[in-house]
């Protein structure tokens, strides 16, 4: 999906008052779909006299492909997941945030201040974190759902009614959990078993789609959907009788991050925007809208109280481990890329 949203200053007087500063008053964001409230972009625009332009993507892999195909130098910031931050840094796609360039950096929660994918937060700030699993329509299926068999070896009632995310990282990570093998296995037998399992499971899937992962569950077009926890919560709030699963084999956890892109055409405005998102009240607005979790201290007073009790954020005691997507070495990644390409044919 490629949609374009623009936020411009509503008051012409403000635009005139900004004078010469407005000549460079622009911020270009590359962002996930349906993930930030328009009101927050308007607030930033009004506070800083900056026109905000946003393009969207539907997977980490789509983001990477676009930037490598020539979009570097077009965007100021992007919002990749944890493992993709590391890949983008290795590919030379990120700028370095110098010490002192972010006045609100101290607001980053201690547990997210020095992540393995970006030590010292030299390229990024935390945005939102959550999980990826799947949701099941309880009007269609009333059996046990906390198993990855629902996706990869489903009961007859669900066969042909499953939407998978169009996301290599999430699909293959959950497939590895299902088989109980490492995510970056180089064992030929394990890789052969992974490929065979996925090719067999494919017959039960109706679609690969990320940007309508919620909509197909709400409409009933899919009875099962691989989905992010916040999307599942929003679907349930829209009236879908769906339940989010926490498989005993495990599920994916993730942290999305705002990164400063190499050759950002509006670098100073990018830093202003990152600092803006490190203010508790502002990032809490994203959490309340998207139904995930913030990585900033001091947000509690600004959060919707229902977030603390939503089932999508509270794994049961028998849930399997939550695991981050791993970054494989190049040779291993090429094997997984071939498996994914074959699966999508």
pLDDT at 221: 98
Cα–Cα distance for residue pair 333/185, rounded to 1 Å: 10
DSSP letter for each residue of 258-305: EEEBTT-TTHHHHHHHHHHHTSHHHHHHHHHHH-SEESBTT-GGGS-G
For the chain, the domains span: 4-129+255-307, 130-253+313-344
250: left (phi over 0), alpha (psi -120 to 50) or beta: left
Q: Which CATH superfamily is domain 4-129+255-307 in?
A: Periplasmic binding protein-like II (3.40.190.10)
pLDDT at 24: 61
| Cβ neighbours around 298 below 10 Å, total | 15
224-228 and 162-164 strand pairing: parallel
Cα–Cα distance for residue pair 24/343, rounded to 1 Å: 45
Q: What is the pLDDT of residues 298-338, one digit of tens each?
A: 999 999 999 999 999 999 999 999 999 999 999 999 999 99
Q: Give Cα separations from 7 to 44, 58, 74, 78, 118 (angstroms).
A: 10, 21, 17, 17, 30
Residues 6+ apart with CB under 8 A from 274: 77, 97, 102, 125, 258, 260
Cα–Cα distance for residue pair 55/33, rounded to 1 Å: 9
Cβ contact 184:190 at 8 Å: no
DSSP letter for each residue of 24-39: G-EEEEEEESS-S-HH
Q: What is the mean pLDDT of each run of 10 residues along the chain (345 residues)?
A: 33 31 75 97 97 97 97 97 98 98 98 97 98 98 98 98 98 98 98 98 97 97 98 97 98 98 98 98 98 98 96 97 97 97 95
Same fold for the pair 4-129+255-307 and 130-253+313-344: yes
Q: Kindly report the CATH number that applies to the domain delimited by 130-253+313-344.
A: 3.40.190.10
pLDDT at 7: 35
77-78 and 162-164 strand pairing: unpaired
- φ, ψ at 224 (rounded to 5°): -135, 140
Q: Is the dihedral of CA 105, 29, 325, 298 positive or negative?
A: positive
Cβ contact 67:22 at 8 Å: no
Q: What is the pLDDT of residues 160-209, one digit of tens each?
A: 999 999 999 999 999 999 999 999 999 999 999 999 999 999 999 999 99
Q: In 3D, which of 205, 213, 221 has the Cα closest to residue 140?
A: 221
- The pTM score is 0.91
pLDDT at 17: 34
Integer-rounded Cα Rg, in Å, for the chain is 21
Cα–Cα distance for residue pair 8/67, rounded to 1 Å: 25
pLDDT at 16: 30
Our separate counts of H helices and E strands in the chain read 12, 12
pLDDT at 22: 38
124-137 and 251-260 strand pairing: antiparallel
152 alpha-carbon distance from chain centroid: 22
Contacts of residues 90-93 at CB distance under 8 Å and 24 or more positions apart, as own/partner, are 91/64, 92/262, 93/64, 93/67, 93/68, 93/261, 93/262
Say which residue the tokens 């590895």 belong to.
Answer: 176
């Amino acid at each position: 999906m490629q949609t374009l949203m623009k936020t411009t200053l509503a008051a012409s007087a403000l635009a005139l008052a900004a004078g010469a500063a407005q000549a460079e008053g622009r911020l270009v964001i590359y962002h996930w779909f349906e993930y930030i409230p328009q009101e927050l972009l308007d607030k930033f625009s009004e506070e800083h006299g900056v026109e905000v332009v946003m393009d969207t993507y539907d997977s980490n892999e789509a983001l990477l492909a676009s930037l490598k195909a020539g979009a570097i130098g077009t965007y100021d910031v992007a919002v990749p997941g944890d493992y993709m931050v590391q890949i983008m840094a290795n590919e030379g796609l990120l700028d370095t945030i110098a010490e002192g360039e972010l006045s609100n950096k101290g607001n980053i929660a201690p547990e997210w201040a020095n992540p393995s994918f970006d030590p010292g937060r030299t390229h990024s700030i935390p945005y939102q974190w959550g999980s990826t699993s799947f949701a099941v329509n309880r009007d269609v299926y009333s059996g046990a759902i906390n198993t990855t068999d629902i996706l990869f070896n489903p009961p007859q009632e669900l066969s042909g009614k499953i939407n998978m995310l169009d996301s290599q990282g999430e699909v293959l990570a959950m497939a590895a959990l299902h088989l109980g093998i490492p995510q970056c296995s180089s064992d030929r037998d394990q890789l052969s078993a992974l490929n065979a399992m996925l090719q067999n499971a494919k017959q039960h899937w109706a679609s690969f789609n990320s940007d309508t992962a919620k909509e197909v569950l709400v409409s009933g077009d899919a009875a099962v959907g691989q989905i992010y926890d916040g999307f599942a919560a929003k679907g349930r709030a829209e009236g879908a009788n769906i339940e989010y699963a926490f498989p005993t084999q495990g599920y994916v956890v993730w942290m999305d991050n705002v990164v400063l892109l190499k050759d950002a055409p509006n670098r100073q405005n990018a830093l202003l925007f990152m600092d803006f998102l490190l203010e508790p009240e502002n990032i809490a607005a994203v959490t309340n809208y998207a139904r995930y979790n913030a990585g900033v201290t001091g947000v509690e007073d600004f959060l919707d109280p229902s977030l603390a009790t939503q089932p999508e954020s509270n794994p049961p005691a028998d849930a399997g481990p939550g695991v981050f997507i791993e970054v494989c070495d190049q040779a291993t990644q090429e094997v997984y890329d071939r498996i994914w390409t074959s699966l999508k044919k």
